[in-house]
């Protein structure tokens, strides 16, 4: 597929890397000349310098010949204008746009109209806020992802030094009566990604992902000896940018007492007009004296959501020392994620990866139902596929399928809703949802094998 990406920033370049690996032809439009040089040195893509909202630039980039437009510049107006130009002057079939405006709901309606015909509008802050809120009431859980319309959960957690599982092998854990339909699907150890086998032993500092049916989550928490789920009552949010406001609005709607800290007085005044019960504090939320004065000890969660990764990491560590039960940091530099987890921060989230996930799912759509990306270096991915008639995997036992090394089946969900975490004798049937976990570079090979003999159709 020939794809035109508007914006060569972190999201645009990460998307390009992934799409190029999957044998797509990529063109990137980027306004900054120095950034263009960097992109030309690191990517096998055509780089065009210019403004994304310029007709001349889009024509120079070959707009007339591309099949998909992905507008992810840092300027909402430029993204929308580019979609308008593409609709008027080209036959591009698919258009995706990232918008950061707080008026995104209104813009979704406009973008979906015949005037623009945009297929997907992504609001990174709202989608990241949704991921954050899913883990706040789960002590010991760093991330919670849903598959098969909520029937399957992928639970991420850090292995602490005092955890009973430290030193245990996968085989030993399997003999310790874990929930019947659970599986440790992926393990991150520093920069390494490990697909766990029977002889792999857990170490303190490992970050693991366990797949389990939703109905067995409480059994998993008991097995891992995690603290019980507790209602969220008090939360501190650091940073009054859009994501902080989005999280505050959702929390106060749940009856949570929220304090939002922002250094900029004018921004505080603006935030106060948008929230209802949230207390807006004009102060530095990373200052120890301020946090003590505002009674940080015992709060359920401290959310560092400023635009500065380093500040978010450092203030999250401070909050834990001052008595916060859970620390969450927004970390967009993906190479910082392993370090943040090793330092003891409970949860880290990246708006960049959230956007990449949504776009990759759409690019591959058809029998690809969801995509979740883990980190940047040594990438790994969870991918949910729909088994269709003719797939070479259908009707065979998994031990006979010969999956690429580094790929495992995490769960099978029948059309009836039955969830199976399979072993070697598991069989994939037509119309099953199959959730795979694999190293990212194996995704094209997996998809090619899974869909061999089938016709890719839009679902």
Q: Is 394 exposed, middle or buried (0-12, 13-18, 19+ CB in 10 A)?
A: buried
Residue % of the chain over a pLDDT of 70: 96
- pLDDT band of residue 222 (cuts 50, 70, 90) is very high
Q: Where are the domains of the chain?
A: 2-122, 132-223, 232-349, 354-450
Fold agreement between 2-122 and 232-349: yes
Nearest to 3 by CA among 56, 51, 43, 32: 43
* DSSP states along 79-124: HHHHHHHHHHH---SEEEEE---TTHHHHHHHHTSTTT--SEEE-H
349-359 average pLDDT score: 88
| CATH-assigned architecture of domain 132-223 | 2-Layer Sandwich (3.30)
Helix (H) or strand (E) holding 220: helix 217-223
Per-residue pLDDT of 32-90, as tens digits, reads 999 999 999 999 999 999 999 999 999 999 999 999 999 999 999 999 999 999 999 99
Per-residue pLDDT of 300-311, as tens digits, reads 999 999 999 999
| CATH-assigned architecture of domain 354-450 | 2-Layer Sandwich (3.30)
384-408 average pLDDT score: 83
424-441 average pLDDT score: 86
* 404 and 446 Cβ atoms separated by less than 8 Å: yes
What's this model's pTM, rounded to 2 decimal places? 0.85
Per-residue pLDDT of 193-221, as tens digits, reads 887 878 899 999 898 999 999 999 999 99
Sign of the CA dihedral with 162 first, then 139, 245, and 341 last? positive
Query: In the 8-state DSSP scheme, what is residue 125?
Result: H
| CATH-assigned architecture of domain 2-122 | 3-Layer(aba) Sandwich (3.40)
Tell me yes or no: is domain 232-349 CATH 3.40.1160.10: no
Report how far Cα 251 is from the mean position of its chain's Cα atoms.
Answer: 20
**What is the C-alpha to C-alpha distance for residues 245 and 268, in angstroms, rounded to an integer?**
11
SS3 content of the chain, % helix, strand, coil (to 5): 35, 25, 40
Per-residue pLDDT of 229-270, as tens digits, reads 888 999 999 999 999 999 999 999 999 999 999 999 999 999
């Amino acid at each position: 597929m020939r794809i035109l990406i508007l914006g060569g920033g972190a999201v645009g370049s990460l998307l390009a890397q992934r799409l190029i690996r999957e044998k797509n032809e990529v063109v990137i439009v980027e306004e900054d000349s120095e950034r263009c040089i960097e992109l030309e040195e690191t990517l096998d893509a055509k780089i065009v310098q210019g403004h994304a909202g310029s007709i001349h630039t889009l024509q120079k980039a070959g707009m007339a010949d591309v099949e998909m437009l992905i507008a992810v510049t840092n300027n909402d107006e430029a993204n929308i204008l580019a979609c308008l130009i593409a609709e008027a002057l080209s036959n591009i079939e698919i258009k995706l746009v990232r918008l950061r405006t707080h008026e995104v709901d209104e813009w979704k309606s406009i973008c979906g109209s015949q005037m623009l015909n945009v297929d997907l509008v992504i609001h990174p802050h709202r989608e990241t806020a949704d991921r954050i809120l899913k883990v706040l009431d789960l002590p010991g859980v760093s991330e919670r992802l849903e598959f098969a319309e909520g029937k399957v959960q992928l639970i991420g957690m850090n292995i602490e030094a005092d955890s009973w599982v430290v030193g245990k092998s996968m085989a030993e854990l399997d003999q310790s009566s874990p929930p019947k339909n659970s599986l440790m699907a992926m393990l991150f150890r520093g920069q390494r990604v490990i697909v766990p086998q029977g002889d792999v032993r857990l170490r303190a500092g490992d970050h693991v992902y366990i797949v389990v049916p939703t109905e067995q989550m409480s059994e998993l928490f008991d097995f891992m000896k995690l603290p019980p789920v507790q209602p969220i009552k008090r939360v501190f949010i650091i940073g009054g940018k859009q994501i902080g406001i989005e999280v505050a609005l959702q929390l106060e709607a749940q009856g949570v007492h929220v304090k939002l800290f922002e250094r900029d007085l004018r921004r505080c005044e603006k935030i106060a007009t948008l929230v209802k019960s949230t207390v807006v504090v004009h102060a530095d939320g990373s200052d120890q004296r301020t946090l003590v004065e505002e009674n940080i000890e015992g709060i359920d969660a401290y959310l560092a959501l400023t635009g500065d990764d380093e500040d978010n990491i450092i203030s999250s560590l401070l909050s834990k020392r001052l008595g916060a039960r859970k620390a969450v940091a927004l970390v967009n530099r993906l190479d910082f994620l392993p370090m943040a987890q090793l330092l003891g921060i409970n949860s880290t989230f990246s708006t960049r990866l959230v956007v990449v996930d949504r776009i990759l799912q759409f690019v591959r759509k058809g029998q690809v139902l969801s995509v979740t990306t883990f980190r940047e270096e040594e990438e790994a991915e969870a991918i949910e596929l729909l088994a269709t008639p003719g797939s070479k995997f259908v009707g065979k036992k998994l031990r006979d399928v010969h999956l690429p090394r580094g790929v495992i089946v995490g769960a099978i969900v029948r059309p009836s809703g039955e969830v199976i975490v399979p072993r070697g004798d598991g069989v994939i049937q037509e119309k099953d949802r199959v959730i795979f976990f694999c190293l990212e570079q194996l995704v094209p090979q997996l998809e090619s094998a899974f869909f061999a003999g089938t016709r890719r159709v839009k679902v």
